[in-house]
Amino acid sequence: MCGFFGIFLDDERLRPDSDDLHHTARLLRHRGPDHQGVHVGDGIGLVHTRLSLLDLAARSHQPFWDETGRYALLYNGEVYNFRELREKLERRPVLMKTY
């Protein structure tokens, strides 16, 4: 099981304290000892600790970011039908980056 923590501030001029977020990641390490991801941005702080079960690659460290760097995703769990989903997405007329 992975560990999650997030804080959202109504005032985007404020930023959560980075030291506090890293401390939270250390507290959640028992939930995901394989990797820790911390993001601090305007009005938001995200923490993810990862327990790797199927995909051990560094490309799966979180948060995930879109190509523009605007959107982040924290995800808990393994996608067990990823092969079928990938095939379906590859048939769609959208750009898909392969890592």
- Verify whether residue 79 is a known catalytic residue: no
Q: How does DSSP classify residue 85?
A: H
**DSSP letters for 13-71:** T----HHHHHHHHHHTGGG-BTEEEEEEETTEEEEEEE--SS---GGG-SSEE-TTS--
Which one of the listed residues 1, 2, 12, 49 is annotated catalytic?
A: 2
**Which residue in this structure is represented by tokens 């991801």?**
37
Residues assigned a catalytic role: 2
